Amino acid sequence: MPQKKILMICLGNICRSPIAETVMAETLAKAKLDSVVVDSAATGSWHVGNRADPRALSTLQKHGLESKHIVRQITKQDFYEFDYIFGMDEDNMSDLRRLAPKDCKAELLMLGDFGLSKEKRIIEDPYYQRGDEGFEVAYQQCVTACEAFVKQRLLQ
C-alpha cells in the first residue's frame, strides 16, 4: 500500500486528539500497517508547545500506551500533506471545512462516523469535566472508531 498520512484534530490538542493519535498508532501497529503515519494538531493555539493533559496521559497509561506529543496548531500545508484529517465533533468539522484550501488533498472525516452508533458518534470534549471519566469514554470511542476505519478504509 502506498504511504498514507492521518491527522487527528481537536480544539486544544491536549485531550481527544492525542488520545486518538496514540490509539490509531496502536491500531495500525496491530494491523501491521507500518507505513501509515499518524499525527495530531489543534484548531486553537492556546496550548501550542505543551504536552497532553495529565488526565489524557494517565488514561493512555492505564491502557499501556504513551503519548510524547507536543501540541501544534493545524497549518494550511497539512491539508495538502495528509490523506485523512479527522475531527472529533461538529465544531472541529466546521473549523476544518472553513480552514481547508479549495484544492485540499485530505479527506475531512469525523472519527466517530466509523464504527460508532449515531448517539455515540460525537467524541465530546472532556477538558472541563471533573475527573478522568470523560477521558476513558473518549478513549473507548477512539478504540472502536480507529479499528473500524482501519478495517473499512486501509485493509480492504
Interaction mask 109-128, ligand 4NP, x per CB under 6 A: ----------------x-x-
Contact between 9 and ligand 4NP (CB under 6 A)?
no
Contact between 10 and ligand 4NP (CB under 6 A)?
yes
Nearest one of 93, 119, 117 to 107, comparing CA atoms: 93
**Three-state DSSP string of the chain:** CCCCEEEEEECCCCCHHHHHHHHHHHHHHHCCCCCCEEEEEECCCCCCCCCCCHHHHHHHHHCCCCCCCCCCECCHHHHHHCCEEEECCHHHHHHHHHHCCCCCCCEEEEHHHCCCCHHHCCCCCCCCCCCCHHHHHHHHHHHHHHHHHHHHHHCC
Reply yes or no on whether 16 is catalytic. yes
Q: How far is the CB of 114 from ligand 4NP (least distance, A)?
A: 18
Contact between 39 and ligand 4NP (CB under 6 A)?
no
Q: Which is nearer to ligand 4NP, 46 or 80 (CB)?
A: 46
Residue choice 6, 8, 14, 24 for contact with ligand 4NP (CB under 6 A): 14
Contact between 67 and ligand 4NP (CB under 6 A)?
no
Residue choice 6, 7, 8, 12 for contact with ligand 4NP (CB under 6 A): 12
Contacting residues toward ligand 4NP, per CB under 6 A: 10-16, 46, 125, 127
The catalytic residues are 10, 16, 125
